[in-house]
Each structure stands twice: as C-alpha cells, then as structure tokens.
Amino acid sequence: MEQVYVLPASIFPPPQNRLIPLEAPLLQKIEREGFFIERPRAEEDPTYRQIIPYALVRYQGRYLLMRRTQGGGEARLHNRYTLGVGGHINPEDVGHNPIQDGLRRELLEEVGVLRYTAEPVGLIVMADSPVSLVHAGVVFVVDSEDEPQVVEVDKLEGHLAGLEEIWPLYEGLEGWSKVVADWLGARCF
C-alpha cells in the first residue's frame, strides 16, 4: 500500500487563503521530522498533513501553465489550469532531504526537468475542502535550465506563459494555483 510523508497538522500555521511565509525553522522541521503513513489513513485523518513539494516552474522569464484534460483521473480537476508541478512524497524518494528529493522526482516525471535551481518561497495551508485539510504545500520557484515539457500528455496540456496570459485564466485555476498566482502578481505589480 502506498505510504506518504506527513507531519502533525498542529505544527503548521493556521490555514489561510494566501501564501504563508516559510520560516527556516519550520522548513527544517518539515524536512527532518516527517514520517510515513498509509495514504488511505492520511487522506482521512486531519490530524496529519501530507507534504506536497509544489513547484512554480520558470523558464526564460515565462511560467509553465498546464491544463488538466479529460484523461486525468480526478473529474473535479478536468479543464482546470495549474501553475504547480508537485505530488506526494513516498519512501523511495527519501535520500538526504525528502522535500528536495520529492521535488526532483516530480519535476523529472511530470515535465522532464533535470537541471534547475529551486528556492522555497512559502507554504500553502488551507482548510477550504476535505482535501485541503489533509495537505500542505511547500512552494518553490524553480528556475529551469531545461525547457519544461508535459510528460503525461494524456492527462495534461502545457505551455510557457507570461503573467499577461495567466491573469485572464485566473478563475479557471485550481485553488493552490490561485494562491501562487496572487503571490506572483503581488511581487510583479
């Protein structure tokens, strides 16, 4: 059975609908004190939050914007846009740093990125749905040396976009992507 990396929900700041500044002590705690539990339990137990490395991928000044197609398994996400590349951390990801190792795997699997720098910029902790109650996103800005390309073309479409192209699609963004877009917009305008 799949196991996912979690921490007690009590270590996180209160849920907010914005990107929460990520202080170094909390990031270190997330990196060092997490542990694995079976995913079905993690999906139902709000005393834990599953940690999701969530990357905003930038290449030559533009951001990877993806749209989930009908081929994806989660019907509620069909035709929604996302700015994030990320996913659960599993035991096979863990080497020196579970967050960085999970991020590395997701970037390679989802968009074929091998060469990059990643800067942690914030934390997403929300409580707007049963799903958000059991997840926390560690948000990175990833500057890629490789042009990102969607690997799972049966589930996603994607292209590089500037903010001027992202803003008109705002209402079609997934929840976490709206948080990231708001943060990005506040920094750029």
pLDDT of 188 over the 90 cut: no
Predicted local distance difference test score (pLDDT) of residue 147 = 96
CA 100 – CA 93 distance, rounded (Å): 9
DSSP β-bridge partners for residue 161: 63
110-143 pLDDT per residue, tens: 999 999 999 999 999 999 888 899 999 999 999 9
Point out the least confidently predicted range of 61-65, 92-96, 160-164, 179-183. Answer: 92-96
- Decide: residue 29, CB within 10 A, 0-12 exposed, 13-18 middle, 19+ buried: middle
Predicted local distance difference test score (pLDDT) of residue 134 = 96
Do 144 and 59 contact (CB within 8 A), yes or no?
Answer: yes
Tokens of 102: 């999970």
62-68/48-59 β-pairing: antiparallel
Q: What is the mean pLDDT of residues 92-111?
A: 91
Residue pointed to by tokens 């599993």: 90
pTM of this prediction?
0.93
Query: Quick one: DSSP state of residue 96?
Result: S
CA 31 – CA 29 distance, rounded (Å): 5
Do 115 and 146 contact (CB within 8 A), yes or no?
Answer: yes
Q: What is the mean pLDDT of residues 80-100?
A: 90
Predicted local distance difference test score (pLDDT) of residue 76 = 60
Predicted local distance difference test score (pLDDT) of residue 112 = 96
CA 157 – CA 168 distance, rounded (Å): 18
The mean pLDDT of the chain is: 92
pLDDT of 58 over the 80 cut: yes
pLDDT of 189 over the 70 cut: no
135-144/48-59 β-pairing: parallel
Which residues lie below 8 Å from residue 71, measured CB to CB, with a gap of 6+?
154, 155
Predicted local distance difference test score (pLDDT) of residue 136 = 97
Confidence band (pLDDT; 50, 70, 90) for 186?
A: confident
